[in-house]
Structure 1
Amino acid sequence: MRKLSGIFLVGLCLGAIGAVVVTAAHGNAAAPQPIAVTGIAVMSATPAPVSVTQATPTPSKSPATTPERKVDAAALAEIVRDGKVSAVVFDRVHRVATVSVGADRGYTSASVVKLLIALSVLEQDGPVADVQRMLSRSDDDLASRFWMAYGGTAIVTRWAGKLGLTGTRPPADPGRWGDTRITAADIVKVYQHLLDHKSTAILTALRNATERGSDGFRQYFGIPDAAAGRPWAVKQGWSCCRPARTLHTTGVVDEDIVVVLTEHPASVDYTTAAKRVTEVVTTLLG
């Protein structure tokens, strides 16, 4: 019995030593070391909370690093043969122009100036439904009525000053609102204002632009025809011939503001000119 008791005591001592070793091992497991995997620390146990700055993900790209789209200005000029073309695509997410061709070149506005007319009418609590009809159907009679009632050329000069439109000028003939001078860069600023200020009445009208204007002209050339099912909102312009044939397509496609202003020789019919404008937008949208 005494021999057995000695063995028993030795066993108890060894067991106690083993318990200490095991307990120490579990204590180390509560504070594991990080394992580097492709630069990311992976913990073998639940990690401690990290600060907000550490948890914030890094953006995949920034305005300064957003690449410009590869658009050949010469290729656009070839599409609008013997005419003029200016194009700007503005990325609203990164607040940068990804395409800019002839952005400061001047053009006759045609119906694009109705955007400024609409802003003036709504600012003075004018009839919303008529403003929307003027825009969605490009109604010239309503535009002429509003032009006379809400300031005429002062509409252009006032909004040019307010929005910083450096290339926009009122028409030489005060009665011809469609002869207002515009640039692609300035029209981008107009759309920025509409979108940033959530001009719902105007944007709704542009999203609901009818296929044919009030004069019967098909106004789905350019952005609508080229958008290929993507959401758009547009204000188009067309006129002839002082001295050139003018076709403009302006608006929003997805998150981009797209402005294409063109002039064509009077010898180029509207159908051909419209197809060329659509080809330009197709090139821009890729």
Structure 2
Amino acid sequence: MRPFHRTFTSAAVALTLVGGTAAVATADAPAGRPAAVAAASVQVPDGVSAGVAVFDRQAGVFTEELNTSARFRSVSVVKLLLALDFLWNRGPDYTVPAADRALLEPMLRSSDDDAADHYWSQYGGSAIITRMVSRLDLSDTAPPPTGYEGFWGYTALSARDTVKIYRYLLDSAPGPVRDFVMGNLRRSTRCASDDFDQHFGIAGAFDKPWAVKQGWAGSSYPKGTCGSGGTAAVPRTAGPAPAAAAVDLTRPALHSTGTVGADDRFVVAVLTLHPVGTSYGKAYTDIGRLTRSLSAPGAARPAGWWYGTWSDHVNVRRDPSTANPRITQLPAGVEVLVGCQARGQKIEVPPYSNDWWAYLPQYGGWISNIYISSPDNRLPDVKEC
């Protein structure tokens, strides 16, 4: 036996999607839920504010639209505009100098803040946003508010403008620019440069091929969700909020943007704000559930069962034992996709013990079932590996 922590199943109502049909599961239902099939419309978790747009490039229509013009602080999604501004007039072959490649690649793949600081300070700060608004005919994007020009993460952005940025990249940008930016977004690293696990939202809701640029900021998010943890820290994209700002600069933000499907068929923009004090794992789980509800016909969905976890800094291992070094660590309390389970080393969390382990296909590793929110050592309905 082992502890049963209903970190995520204790909500009044959880949405389970089986074969495309929505079914309500109460808090007393089993903790695991099958990997979601696309729902008919966006499912926004309680307490979350969201702006959502999904554009089908093949059909030329939006399959999802929710608060598409609502302005959110961009956090790291603005790095797309920093990269495009730098690449805008690079000559006929759009060659990226080695020194800039060394900055732009980690900025796009791993959301490196030092690189963003460099391009913001060297190329005009707010003037970058003004230029890109004009070039891409953006409707809702705006520079940081007066007095906060140094905070690039305070740039205002909407879901519909995010779709415009990707459509420019995919349909209008010079080939070398498209290949450079999208190529790096396809190589998104699970652990960001600041050691946050950034494979939430799109990266969890869909199988590859996908390309993503994520964003996050919140004083309640602990630093180091991919590593050993650490003290709570406010990312450099944040700062003291203006007394009267048109965009909410205080609630924790978590954004997932990019493309899914063959030939980048669907452009997806999911911008979210969460109640003050929301943990990273809870926000990660909520944006995951929202993104899994989106309609993207034909886009591949991961197979398995979603389960909540408990405890801080749960190690993901290469095999069902503690013999080898960990691959990474889970954000505290995050929901994970379980592909199968197997017996392995017995893990003790007194007074409980468990020798079953869950394989997490999206991490390529294993966690002990003792850290999964379910009343039994062996997870119900999950096949054996």
Q: Deviations over 1:102-155 (max 9, x none)?
A: 100110000000000001122254623421211101000110011111121011
Greater RCO (CA < 8 Å, at least 6 residues apart): 2
Matched, 1:108 2:73: yes
Within a 5 Å distance, the mapping from 1:260-279 to structure 2 comes to 260-279=270-289
1:162: how far off?
A: 1.2
Q: 1:132 aligns with which of 105, 112, 117?
A: 105
**Alignment partners' CA distance in 2, 1:188 and 1:72:** 18
Q: In structure 2, what is the Cα distance between the partners aligned to 1:148 and 1:192?
A: 27
Aligned equivalents of 1:130, 1:101: Cα separation in 2: 34
| 1:276 maps to amino acid | D
For 1:185-217, what per-residue CA distance to the aligned partner results, in whole angstroms no more than 9, with x for missing partners? Answer: 000000001111241111011000100110000
Counterpart residue type for residue 155 of structure 2: T
1:98 Cα deviation (Å)?
A: 1.3
Which residue pairs with 2:47 in the alignment? 82
Q: Which amino acid aligns with 1:156?
A: I
Distance 1:204 1:129 in 2: 15
What is the match of residue 150 of structure 2? 175
Matching residue of 2:190: 211
Structure 2 CA distance for aligned equivalents of residues 71 and 88 of structure 1 = 14
RMSD: 1.5
Partner residue in 2 for 1:120: 85
- Give the CA deviation at 1:230: 3.0
- Give yes or no for contact 1:71–1:99 (8 Å, CA) kept in 2: no
Conservation of the 8 A alpha-carbon contact between 1:128 and 1:201: no
Map of 1:240 onto structure 2: 218
**Shift, 1:238, TM fit:** 0.2
**Structure 2 gap ranges (5+):** 1-37, 91-95, 220-248, 297-385
Secondary structure class of the residue paired with 1:98 = strand
The list of structure 1 runs, each at least 4 consecutive aligned residues, that deviate by more than 2 angstroms after superposition, is 69-73, 123-126
Q: 2:258 aligns with which of 248, 251, 259?
A: 251
Evaluate the alpha carbon distance shift between residue 85 and residue 71 of structure 1 in structure 2; reply closer, same or farther with a 3 A threshold.
farther
Q: Aligned pair count?
A: 213
1:226 alignment counterpart: 205
CA–CA separation in structure 1 for the residues paired with 2:140 and 2:84: 18
* More displaced stretch, 195-204 vs 99-108: 195-204
Q: 1:72 to 1:123 in 2, by over 3 A?
A: closer
Fraction of identical pairs, as percent: 38
Could you say what secondary structure the match of 1:188 adopts? helix
| Separation in structure 1 between the aligned mates of residue 87 and residue 251 of structure 2, nearest angstrom | 32
TM-score by length of 2: 0.53
Give the match for residue 195 of structure 1.
170
Q: CA deviation at 1:87?
A: 1.0
Question: Is the 8 Å Cα contact of residues 121 and 131 (structure 1) preserved in structure 2?
Answer: no
Larger radius of gyration: 1
Q: Quick one: which of 58, 64, 81 aligns to 1:99?
A: 64
1:71–1:107 CA distance, 2 compared to 1 (3 A):
farther
The one-letter amino acid of 1:93's match is Q
- Structure with greater strand share of residues: 2
In structure 2, the residue matched to 1:43 is none
Q: Is the partner of 2:294 in helix, strand or coil? A: helix
TM-score between the two structures when normalised by the length of structure 1: 0.71
Structure 1 or 2: more helix by fraction: 1
Deviation at 1:86, TM superposition (A): 1.4
| Structure 1 gap segments, 5+ residues each | 1-68
Paired amino acid for 1:266: V
Classify 1:285/1:72 alpha carbon distance in 2 versus 1 (closer, same or farther; 3 Å).
Answer: closer
- How far, CA to CA, are the matches of 2:194 and 2:186 in structure 1? 19
* Residues 1:137 and 1:70: Cα distance change in structure 2 (over 3 Å): closer
